[in-house]
Structure 1
Amino acid sequence: MKAMILAAGLGTRMRPLTNYTPKPLLLVGRKPLIEWHIEKLVAAGIREIVINIAHLGWQIPETLGNGERWNIQIRYSDEQREGALETAGGIIKALPLLGKQPFLVVNGDIWCDFDFNNLTLKPNDLAQLVLVPNPPHHPEGDFALLDDRVCNQGTPPLYTFSGIGLYSPMLFANLPQGKRPLAPLLRSSMIQRRIGGQLYTGDWRDIGTPERLHELDDELTARA
């Protein structure tokens, strides 16, 4: 299985830290945030990773290289010319690198101890999403979870989308390249009951602000 790390965001909430450094390269626990993802993906048996880049994107391949350090292959989907294409737009552009089999996608601005081996697709599903309890900064949640089906808002309780998912390329089939959010694609497929999901209650963090970054950095540094 291949994986994609979404690393093309502008990091506006993280300013001024992201004025000169892309958010995935900000240090937590003495190494760039994105390296925690790479190590967890490698531990799950992933050997091919695609990373999309935009804001100050050239710094990411300069730092990570081709993956030789982890005995894997890293390839880059470059959005620097277009600007960040949002989640679905970034995935669509990267499809030629991701292939025809289901692939894992993880947001570059989260931290978690989720085991990526726990993601599977049922035969008719287009995606499986990992949901988490709503954090204080997002109390309204995103989606409902009934049995193993992710549903549109309106059926409480609602949970927050973690930014971790396993996707079939068919979810993005025949869509043109360009800026495109992911949520509308997911919601239309939820109506067809083709989006599976699971609730994860372990350690998950949205590292979206300097305060949350520093909090995680203090914790990880103390563990080292």
Structure 2
Amino acid sequence: MAEQTSFDKNSAGPKTAMLLAAGLGTRLRPLTDNLPKPLVPVAGKTLLQRGLELLAAAGVAKTIINIHYKADILAAFVKKIAPHYAMELVLSDETDYLLDSAGGIIKALPLLGQEPFFVLNADTFWLEEPGSAPNLHRLAHAFNPVKQDMLLLTLPCGQAPGIAKADFLQNAAGNLSRAGKAPLSPQAVLYAGGLITRPAIFANAAANMPQSLNRYFDRAVAQKRLYGLKLQAEWHSVGSMAELYQTEAALQKCD
């Protein structure tokens, strides 16, 4: 059942976000031969715009966007669309060296501030259910930094056709553990591409060194401080040409 809400996007919650947009997009070739992955159009909107819309709906006031591949094209596009958003769009330049997901966040920490912030992948998005609270708002409301280092939006594997391997197992309390090679079960979930985190988990991390968020996921799992909140929306991943075709076909059915 849809969760009814009178959500106020100006209410308490993170006002800062990191949008991970520096990837090479190799599985989206030939589209990405001359185009950065975040600018791949999906049913009339770029992936970047779809991510920014989700953040704007949650009341985010400043979004940091990291850039690497075709950085000049992406930077020009961000400058062009910035006036259309009621948030500040700031670029974090990784042109010289691609830093991976966690490395990009660590480089941008001075821009992100000392309070919890959202992290969003540029190649996943979801369609919010009409009349329901935005999922990022739900995430902010559920986040408890006393016992959680990161709270991830997750998707039951049964809601993602064709998925044969889970990222995590999520128990009834929301605690996440690595799925490993375990067969799919009702607890099996995917990381849906959005999270909220405490910036302190990146304290003392080496700057300008490529590193994945998986390192921090595993550390939080070991300390029982990684949690998940199940997404309440239609989820889409656009990491390959096959996924792009599937997503566009699904969105056309919604029109």
TM-score bracket for this pair, using the shorter chain length: over 0.9
Aligned CA distance change for structure 1 residues 222 and 159 (closer, same or farther; 3 Å) = closer
SS in 2 for 1:119: helix
Cα RMSD after superposing both structures: 1.8
Q: Tell me the equivalent position of 1:170.
A: 200
Correspondence list, 1:109-188, <5 A: 109-114=123-128, 115=134, 116-120=136-140, 121-124=143-146, 125-134=148-157, 135-146=160-171, 147-153=173-179, 157-177=187-207, 178-188=209-219
1:216: how far off? Answer: 2.3
Post-superposition CA distance 1:57-97 (Å, at most 9, x none): 22112012172221221001111101x21111111111111
Q: Tell me the equivalent position of 2:67.
A: 53
Moved more, 121-130 or 161-170: 121-130
Q: Output the amino acid matched with 1:112.
A: W
Correspondence list, 1:31-110, <5 A: 31-65=45-79, 67-82=82-97, 84-110=98-124
User: Is contact 1:130–1:163 with CA below 8 Å preserved after alignment?
Assistant: yes
1:184: how far off? Answer: 1.9
**Ranges in structure 2 where 5+ consecutive residues have no aligned partner:** 1-14, 129-133
Aligned match for 2:40, one of 10, 19, 26: 26
User: Is contact 2:145–2:198 with CA below 8 Å preserved after alignment?
Assistant: no
1:221 and 1:59 mapped to 2: Cα distance? 28
User: Is contact 2:125–2:193 with CA below 8 Å preserved after alignment?
Assistant: no
SS in 2 for 1:203: strand
2:231 and 2:250 mapped to 1: Cα distance? 21
Aligned CA distance change for structure 1 residues 133 and 201 (closer, same or farther; 3 Å) = farther
**Ranges in structure 1 where 5+ consecutive residues have no aligned partner:** none
User: Is contact 1:133–1:201 with CA below 8 Å preserved after alignment?
Assistant: no
Q: Which aligned segments of 4 or more residues in structure 1 are displaced greater than 6 angstroms?
A: none
Q: TM-score normalised to the size of structure 2?
A: 0.81
Moved more, 193-202 or 167-176: 193-202
1:201: how far off? Answer: 4.9
Q: Tell me the equivalent position of 2:8.
A: none
1:209 and 1:92 mapped to 2: Cα distance? 27
Q: TM-score normalised to the size of structure 1?
A: 0.92
Q: Output the amino acid matched with 1:38.
A: L
Q: Output the amino acid matched with 1:72.
A: M
SS in 2 for 1:144: strand
Q: Tell me the equivalent position of 1:6.
A: 20
